[in-house]
Chain A
Amino acid sequence: MRSDYTKFTMEEMMAVAAAREIEDGEKVIIGTGLPLLGAFLAQKTHAPNMIAIYESGGIDCKPIATPLSVADSVLVPGSAMQGGLMEGLGIVHAGELDLGFLGGAQIDKYGNLNTHVIGDYRKPKVRFAGSGGANDIGTGCKRTIVMMLHQKQRFPEKVDFVSTPGYFGGGKEREKYGFYGNGPSVVISTLGILRFDPETKEMYLASYHPGATVAQVKENTGWDLKVASDVYETERPAPELIRILREECDPTGLFLKKQ
């Protein structure tokens, strides 16, 4: 399977979809896992001038091996600058970055993200990590890409806790906060690609991944998800992209499990 580049997994589809969202020359703050692979892929293909920034204070990192953590030692040699959190997140906070990646336990209809709790904050059923740098990235970066496991409980109509605001209740509500960041531009889920209506800021299905269906996406979403009138199947990754992803971005199978 791993040497057959015409076949791909859902993780690989998501990493390719993430790469497609990155434009050349952008300053991008990168997390771990699929966002990291998506950013690597973009840099190795259409966005060679992308500047990779890590929360841990590395700027223009060019790691020679795949980092497992945002503070991996492998990020340091070869980077243009290395500092700490003040350097990595200070520039995010100042609104200087184009793009950041987010994820979470829940995302709602208006792109609000929850990384804190399931249930009541004071007596949580499940307690998660907390914000980390996510709220800083979501409020500071010009736009964000959210990557999510697509399950009904992870896509509720309203999140249990707003860790990183998306568009609040929709419409122009976000604008009144005066953030540098304009909010999430896309949600790349395990089932499809979702975007936000420019007026209402409600999430809608733009495309479904190969192997998924519109009905399946709707079934796994906690509200009556709107579907674009021109909804289509997400463009399949070219075999060459899958090759680069497996052989160059994650050769040891750190994130893409070897089949």
Chain B
Amino acid sequence: MKKSKVISAKEAVSGFISDGMTVGIGGFFHSPSYSITHEIIRQKKAHLTICQPSFNEHADQMIGAGCVDRIISSYVWMEVFGPLYCFRRAMEKEIPHKIEMEDYTNFAVMARYLAGSLGVPYIPINSMKGSDMMKYRAWLGEKKAIQMKDPFGSGQEHVLVPALKPDVGYFHCQRADEEGNSQMWGIWGDMPWSMRACKEVIVSCEEIITREQIGRDPNRTIVPGYKVVAVVHAPFGAHPKHCQGYYDVDRDFIFKYIRESATEDGWKRYMDEWVYGVADRDEYLKNYVDTFGMKKFLGLKAKDMMSTSVNYGF
């Protein structure tokens, strides 16, 4: 067997994420890695450029904590749950400091990842044309996006977006083996393109399984182990978001965050309790059960809806 890459979230973040890096964060509402995000905040990483097609509260917490200088995204909000106040305070009032955002569309960020994952310098898209996202640019300036006539003669103009290749990426999935072969089902979000575009990948997962189990269902593997530098075992690692087949979204807890983060003081209190005040994910979960009770915690667990298996025989 190859060397195990299983380490703690603490070791993964201190070992592979440095100040000033461009970091690709995986997930689309479903299954973001809170175990890694909270560790980044606890280790006070700074001057990060964070990338994700659509961001939710995990980005808001990193912004409020001062970890972020730049954002490459299309969206920072939590749908019908409500606004993200740290993001708003940063953009409107430069609290805790000024941040910049390169505004794209959801698909445009995916296209940038696709180009990055394929090793081509840019990719043409149909979106963004004529919008003010083409007019306003942050640090990338002209290199944010370029409109160009199709050289193959369709007569149409397209928007070219540059390849995005983060220094490091991290995501959360259902299961991985010790080499980092990672399997994910349900809503893939920006995977696999986001993680394929990253130079190195950290995966956190609900379960660690064997290489033999991976090989029994290889079509479900979303990132191959060779891209992965660290595997973190993190049950409930996406809470308060959901992880298909493991637990559902914790709506009350998300509403609680949005409500409390409306003021700076409220946000600090929340973070002191749920991020800074706990050493790791185990303490976080213990605090959750102590605060809300085991019944509420177990109520998040997914019910069984098993798939039928297929024959991989030859």
Contact = CB atoms under 8 A, between A and B. Distances in A.
Nearest to B27: A71
B126 A127 contact: no
Contact of A89 (B75, B103, B107): B107
Interface stretch (B172-180, B208-216, B242-250, B276-284): B242-250
Given A85-B107, A116-B103, A135-B131, A71 B28 contact: yes
A173 B191 CA distance: 37
B126 A180 contact: yes
B125 to A, nearest CB: 7
B236 interface: no
A82 interface: yes
Contacts of A178: 155-157
A30 B127 CA distance: 18
Nearest to B26: A84
A249 to B, nearest CB: 15
A-side binding surface: helix, strand, loop or mixed? loop
Contacts of B248: 73
Interface residues of A, number: 55
Highest count of chain A CB atoms <10 Å: which of B92, B127, B249: B127
Contacts of A161: 132, 136
B118 interface: no
A131 B188 contact: no
Nearest to B251: A68
Given A84-B191, A139-B126, A162-B131, A132 B92 contact: no
B30 A127 contact: no
B311 to A, nearest CB: 21
A131 B55 CA distance: 12
Nearest to B109: A85
A192 interface: no
B105 interface: yes
Contact of A33 (B54, B80, B83): B80
Contacts of A58: 187
B132 A92 contact: no
Contacts of A70: 29, 79
Given A72-B249, A86-B114, A163-B133, A139 B127 contact: yes
A177 B128 CA distance: 11
Interface string B245-270: 00011010000000000000000000
Interface string B92-128: 1000000001011111101000100000000001111
Contacts of B191: 84
A94 to B, nearest CB: 8
Contacts of B108: 136
Contact of B106 (A55, A72, A180): A55
B75 A126 contact: no
Interface in B142-160: 155-157
Contacts of B107: 85, 89-90, 92-93, 133, 136
A240 B186 CA distance: 35
Contact of A131 (B75, B80, B91, B193): B75
Interface of B: 28-30, 53-54, 73-77, 79-81, 83, 87-88, 91-92, 101, 103-108, 110, 114, 125-133, 136, 155-157, 185-193, 242, 244, 248-249, 251, 302, 305
5 contacts: A57-B187, A73-B302, A76-B186, A126-B88, A131-B133
Interface of A: 32-33, 55-58, 68-73, 75-77, 82-87, 89-90, 92-93, 95, 116, 121-122, 124-136, 139-140, 161-165, 168, 177-180, 255
List 7 A-B pairs, minimum CB-CB distance, nearest first. Answer: A84-B188, A129-B77, A71-B29, A132-B75, A127-B91, A133-B106, A136-B107
